[in-house]
Amino acid sequence: MAKRTAPEVNAGSMADIAFLLLIFFLVTTTIETDSGINRKLPPIEDVEDPPIIKQKNIFTVVVNKNNQLLVEEELTNIEDLRLLAVEFLDNGGGEGEDACNFCQGPGDPKSSDNPVKAIISLKNDRETSYKVYISVQNELVAAYNDLRDREFLRLNPNGGLTFVEAYKKYSDPRTTPDQKKLLKPKLDLVKGMFPQKLSEAEPSKN
Amino acid sequence: MSKFKKKKGGELPVISTASLPDIVFMLLFFFMVATVMRDSTLMVKNKLPAADQIQKLDKKDRVMYIYAGEPSPRYTDKYGSQPRIQLNDKFSTVSEVAAFVLAERATKRQELQNVLTTSLKVDGDTKMGLITDIKQELRKVNALKINYTTRIGDYTQNRD
């Protein structure tokens, strides 16, 4: 007697079913954006007597209601902002205990003493467009990142990573705790050299 | 009798479609894995500005989202075209932000309540006044970690 074979199931419609599901997922998929510029807001409590900061250690950036950029009271294009900020932070004009031994700037006595003292003050109008505000924020963060990259590469010449890359690696959940422990002091050191001191003024009302 | 006999007629050879389901399944699995279901439907215009100095957001359970922008075309009749805030699935005023943050915080696990990030997904054409108001509200409820969620791209894309 011949061996009885199991009857074959017709798989011809399998493709149709799969297509149906595929189209459903294609339509419902929205690739979520999950990255952006992190910021920390200042706590609301009032400081009784604010610390006195020398005017030369403040880098003022104002965006007015016509989305124009005023850097240190001068009308500036956003293309130049990054360079101006780097120049200000990296100036190293301090003397004595304020001296900065890693700064490569010109050491202009009218500009910042050292990166730890340097503060960037950002002020915007209520009518400023969010796009412009983000662009300005982006450029200021970029200035810090450029300098941090430079110092990170100088201090860890054979790591092959820039500060930004190393930080990304540090925040990646796939990085093992051992590697993280190795990276953390290096990152903290550079962060301490160029702390992000970005102060935002209360908005002006018109 | 020739070995190289011509095949009969102009019939096209049939292409086997047996591997078609495999290909389709492959695509299907890709999209199934890549899909993130949105918690709330967007009711505002949400063309995020571009930036390139960005950091990745925290895990999803540590983030709450605040959307803002002009209402979408189908809501403009009812809500006008002034930029509005959207919390969860409805339009809200600035004064509701604090309550929203507190409510969201209460739904999270105890150990996460202090590490929450607020992701601001704001349309590029919004005025800063609204965002400043949101930030003030966030400061009031001590939700200090924020993230301006942006697209990845050069800042020059923000001009137009």
Cα–Cα distance between A77 and B114 in angstroms, integer? 39
Residue A143 falls within a domain, yes or no?
yes
- Total domains in chain A come to 1
Residue A128 in any domain: the answer is yes
Cβ-Cβ contacts under 8 Å, A142 against chain B: 52-53
Q: Does the beta carbon of B154 lie under 8 angstroms from any beta carbon of chain A?
A: no
Cβ separation of B49 and A26 shorter than 8 Å?
no
Tell me how far apart the alpha carbons of residues A175 and A182 are, in angstroms, rounded to a whole number: 11
Q: Write out the residue range of the structural domain in which residue A176 sits.
A: 55-200
Q: Is the pLDDT of residue B3 over 70?
A: no
Residues A155-174 pLDDT 10s:
888 777 888 888 888 888 78
Which has more pLDDT, B83 or B18? B83
Residue of chain B whose Cα is closest to the Cα of A35: B56
B20: Cβ contacts below 8 Å, ≥ 6 apart: A15
CATH of domain B50-158: 3.30.420.270
Torsion of CA A155, A161, A164, A169, to 10 degrees: -120
| A2 domain-assigned | no
Residues 104-143 of B with CB under 8 A from A: 117, 119-129, 131-132, 135, 138-140, 142-143
- Compare CB distances from A126 to B31, B132, B146 and report the shortest one's residue: B132
Answer yes or no: are the C-beta atoms of B101 and B64 closer than 8 Å. Answer: yes
Interface of B with A in 22-41 (CB under 8 A): 24-25, 27-28, 31-32, 34-38
Asked if residue A62 is part of any domain, the answer here is: yes
Q: Is residue A8 in a domain?
A: no
Indicate the residue of B20, B32, B53 with minimum beta-carbon distance to A37.
B53
pLDDT at A103 over 60: yes
ipTM entry:
0.77
Domain membership flag for residue A158: yes
Looking at every residue in chain B, the average pLDDT score rounds to 84
